[in-house]
């Protein structure tokens, strides 16, 4: 079986404990590789390597233009290795190969974008109100960045942090999810091939409850960039606060997908399907609450069921599969328990609502795409993140009721509205409480714009032209070319 070590200081490093854990293929249920089980001692080693690389100043001082060149080469190599990287991710989390291969190529785009921005972000000269004094603002890297990432899109969600952090001249220690570590180790190896100095990008693998705290509280960590669930996110936030470390947190959601009566229903129904059944609903931005105008409710539900009946569910390695397995056994249990909760709360199961079994479902880690109607927004199925292919449907009478239900959640990651009326779309875009609002589309993301949450969905933003600022200090420099202070006891 293939074995993956930590990647520290430009090379594979065996865990100091000598222990490894298996990583499983969700479709077959079988282990396909083993991963180094990190300890706080391994964390120390990775952090020391990143700190030494930062202090050596090679990466931050080679000029931003040169950093951009190396990151572009890194992106070229990601494209060259995209099929192999995609295959690893598909084996690890069971995502469709059809989706993953595009997603890995998109990872390269993040590096091209921030490679380009590296030497195009400048400081400022300030028109300071002190005669004879020159003041400017410059931006400097923070130092060692700790990136902690989840299993649902391992390379992509790491790239959202890694690309701007590296472009800004930082060094990074990544801890990928214990379920999906292998692709990150391969990525770090490719980075060295591209010319990144050793120690600039390290990967330490292991369990959140065993090494997460050691990473977040590490004295050399200058910022924590975390993507994951609410429980982990809160723990990271508390630990970081106690150590006075800044964070960005990209957490969960319960995003409303609102279809108004004047929408293009064909397109809206496709948006609902990709929003909640794409990636088997295992995305932070899943459109898990469908809000339908009363007049179109039955029509939309009938169309959704028609599409789901024809969906090809099975082996994610096949290009024509449309719905794949659930990534982990514990996630499967969690989804099934929410289905039970919804039934006991009185929601009507209009489609699905059970585990799929049969030879086409491999080891059986599958849930039928599920639709609950007659959901009330105060039910748990409407308020808590399921992270699976389970849709909660509610109806509304008018725009104000739709907005009230849409915003009545403690999350605020994303929201969508479907309408052919420009004025109404802008009204909704203004009033939906979410970091991303889609009008007549769903699940669109891009390195060129920002992503992040309102309310309990997170703190800070990733992506877009300002993302490097999340990984930079702002320094104000005062220069007095010809000092001439008469009275040093009085503030000048
Ligand atoms: P998770 O919180 O269980 O794990 C995420 C990472 O945090 C893993 O690497 C894990 O080992 C680590 N971790 C866990 N506890 C920790 C602790 N106390 N200290 C430090 N690290 C710790 O999340 P998951 O199950 O891997 O991912 C699913 C969740 O991620 C969902 O809630 C989803 O909504 C969220 N998510 C958010 C976004 C976003 O951009 N907002 C994107 C994808 C996923």
Burial class of residue 416 in the structure, from the number of CB atoms within 10 Å of its CB (0-12 exposed, 13-18 middle, 19+ buried): buried
Measuring CA to CA, how many Å separate 372 from each of 7, 249, 361? 45, 30, 23
Q: Is 126 left (phi over 0), alpha (psi -120 to 50) or beta?
A: beta
Estimate the crossing angle of helix 97-118 against helix 82-93, to 10 degrees.
130
Which pLDDT score is estimated for 288?
98
Q: What angle do CA 213, 214, 218 make, to 5 degrees?
A: 115
Active site residues per annotation: 161, 250, 284, 462
- Interval 119-150: pLDDT, tens: 999 999 999 999 999 999 999 999 999 999 99
**Region 78-88 average pLDDT:** 97
Tell me the percentage of the chain whose pLDDT exceeds 70.
Answer: 100
213 CA closest ligand 1 atom index: 19
Report which protein residue has its CA nearest ligand 1's atom 41: 250
Q: Is the pLDDT of residue 38 over 90?
A: yes
User: Ligand 1 test: best mutation among 40, 208, 288, 412, most atoms within 8 Å of CB?
Assistant: 208
Contacts of 9-12 with CB under 8 Å at 24 or more apart are: 9/45, 9/49, 9/198, 9/199, 9/202, 10/192, 10/197, 10/198, 10/199, 11/198, 12/185
293 has which bridge partners? 396
What are the pLDDT digits (tens) for 263-273? 999 999 999 99
**296: which residues sit within 8 A by CB, 6+ positions away?**
259, 261, 263, 265
CA of 382 relative to ligand 1 center, distance in Å = 21
Ligand 1 binding pocket includes 208 (Cβ within 6 Å): yes
CB 178 near ligand 1, within 6 Å: yes
Residue 423 has pLDDT above 90, yes or no: yes
Identify which of 213, 232, 243, 249 to mutate to test ligand 1's pocket (most ligand atoms within 8 A of the CB). Answer: 232
Determine if ligand 1 sits within 6 Å of the CB of residue 387. Answer: yes
Q: Is the pLDDT reported for residue 421 higher than 90?
A: yes
Would the pLDDT of 492 be above 70?
no
- pLDDT at residue 35 in the model: 98
Q: What is the mean pLDDT of residues 56-71?
A: 98
- Ligand 1 centroid to Cα of residue 349, in Å, is 29
Instruction: Count the neighbouring beta carbons within 10 Å of the beta carbon of residue 61.
Output: 11
Q: Which tokens hold the place of 69?
A: 């060149």
pLDDT one-digit tens code per residue, 174-227: 999 999 999 999 999 999 999 999 999 999 999 999 999 999 999 999 999 999
The minimum-distance atom of ligand 1 relative to the CA of 331 is 25
Given a cut of 70, whether residue 374 has pLDDT beyond it is yes
Measured over the CA atoms of residue 361, residue 363, residue 364 and residue 366, the dihedral's sign is: negative
Give, for ligand 1, the residue of 40, 177, 221, 228 to mutate: max count of ligand atoms closer than 8 Å to Cβ. 228
Task: Calculate how far, in angstroms, residue 227's C-alpha sits from the geometric centre of ligand 1.
Answer: 5
Q: What percentage of the chain has pLDDT greater than the value 90? A: 98
The reported pLDDT for the residue numbered 290 is 99
Ligand 1 closest atom vs CA 233: 2
The 10 Å CB-count burial string (b at 16+, else e) for 270-301 is: ebbbebbbbbbbbbbbbbbbbbbbeebbeebb
Output the CA 279–ligand 1 centroid distance in Å. 17
Distance CA 320, CA 326 (A): 17
Q: pLDDT tens digits for 441-467?
A: 999 999 999 999 999 999 999 999 999
At 484 the pLDDT is 86
**Is 301 within 8 Å of 373 (Cβ atoms)?**
yes
Domains, in order of start, for the chain:
2-251+457-476 (3.40.605.10), 256-439 (3.40.309.10)
Give residue 248's pLDDT band: very low, low, confident or very high (50, 70, 90).
very high
Mean pLDDT (the chain) is 97
CA of 399 to the centre of ligand 1 (A): 34
State whether the beta carbon of 334 lies less than 6 angstroms from ligand 1.
no
Distance 457 CA to ligand 1 centre (A): 12
Task: State residue 77's pLDDT score.
Answer: 98
Backbone φ and ψ for 225, nearest 5 degrees, come out as -110, 110
Q: Is 385's C-beta closer than 6 angstroms to any atom of ligand 1?
A: yes
- Residues 271-321: tens digit of each pLDDT: 999 999 999 999 999 999 999 999 999 999 999 999 999 999 999 999 999
Contact 369, 352 (CB under 8 A): yes
Give the nearest ligand 1 atom to 150 CA.
26
Which residue's alpha carbon is at the smallest distance from atom 39 of ligand 1?
A: 250
Q: Which two tokens stand for residue 156?
A: 């992509």
Residue of 146, 150, 237 to test ligand 1 pocket, by largest number of atoms within 8 Å of CB = 150
Is 89 a pocket residue for ligand 1 (Cβ < 6 Å)? no
What is the structure's pLDDT at 486? 84
Q: What string of DSSP letters covers 348-376?
A: EEEE--SEE-SGGGTTT-EE--EEEES--
Closest residue to atom 20 of ligand 1, CA basis: 212
């Amino acid at each position: 079986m293939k074995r993956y070590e930590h990647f520290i200081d430009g090379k594979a490093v065996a865990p100091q404990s000598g222990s490894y854990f298996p990583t499983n293929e969700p479709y077959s249920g079988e282990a396909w590789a083993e991963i180094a089980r990190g300890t706080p001692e391994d964390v120390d080693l990775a952090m020391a390597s990143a700190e030494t690389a930062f202090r050596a100043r090679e990466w931050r001082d080679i000029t931003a233009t040169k950093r951009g060149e190396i990151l572009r080469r890194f992106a070229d190599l990601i494209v060259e290795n995209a099929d192999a990287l995609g295959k690893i991710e598909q084996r690890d989390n069971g995502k469709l190969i059809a989706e993953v291969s595009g997603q890995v190529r998109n990872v390269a785009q993040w590096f091209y974008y921030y490679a380009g921005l590296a030497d195009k972000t400048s400081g400022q000269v300030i028109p300071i109100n002190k005669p004879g004094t020159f003041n400017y603002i410059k931006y400097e890297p923070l130092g060692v960045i700790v990136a902690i990432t989840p299993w649902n899109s391992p390379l992509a969600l790491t790239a959202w942090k890694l690309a701007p952090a590296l472009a800004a001249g930082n060094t990074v220690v990544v801890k990928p999810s214990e379920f999906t570590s292998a692709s990150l180790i391969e990525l770090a190896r490719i980075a060295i091939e591209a010319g990144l100095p050793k120690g600039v990008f390290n990967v330490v693998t292991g369990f959140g409850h065993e090494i997460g705290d050691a990473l977040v509280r590490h004295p050399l960590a200058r910022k924590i960039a975390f993507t994951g669930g609410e429980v982990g996110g809160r723990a990271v936030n508390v630990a970081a606060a106690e150590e006075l470390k800044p964070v960005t947190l990209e957490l969960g959601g319960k995003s409303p997908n609102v279809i108004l009566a004047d929408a293009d229903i064909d397109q809206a129904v496709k948006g609902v399907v990709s929003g909640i059944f794409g990636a088997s609903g295992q995305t932070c931005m899943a459109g898990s609450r469908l809000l339908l105008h009363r007049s179109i409710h039955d029509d939309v539900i009938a169309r959704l069921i028609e599409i789901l009946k024809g969906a090809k569910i099975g082996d994610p390695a096949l290009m024509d599969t449309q719905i794949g397995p659930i990534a982990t056994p514990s996630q499967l249990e969690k989804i099934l328990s929410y289905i039970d909760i919804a039934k006991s709360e009185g929601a009507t199961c209009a489609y699905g609502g059970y585990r799929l079994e049969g030879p086409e479902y491999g080891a059986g880690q599958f849930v039928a795409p599920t639709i609950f109607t007659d959901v009330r927004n105060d039910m748990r199925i409407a308020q808590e993140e399921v992270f699976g292919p389970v849709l909660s449907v509610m109806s509304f009478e008018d725009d104000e009721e739709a907005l009230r239900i849409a915003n009545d959640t403690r999350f605020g990651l994303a929201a969508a509205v479907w309408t052919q009326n420009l004025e109404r779309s802008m009204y909704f875009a203004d009033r939906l409480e979410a970091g991303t609002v889609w009008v007549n589309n769903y699940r669109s993301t891009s390195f060129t714009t920002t992503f992040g949450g309102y309310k309990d969905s997170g703190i800070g933003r990733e992506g877009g032209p300002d993302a490097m600022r999340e990984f930079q200090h702002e320094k104000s420099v005062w220069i007095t070319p010809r000092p001439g202070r008469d009275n040093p006891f009085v503030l000048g």
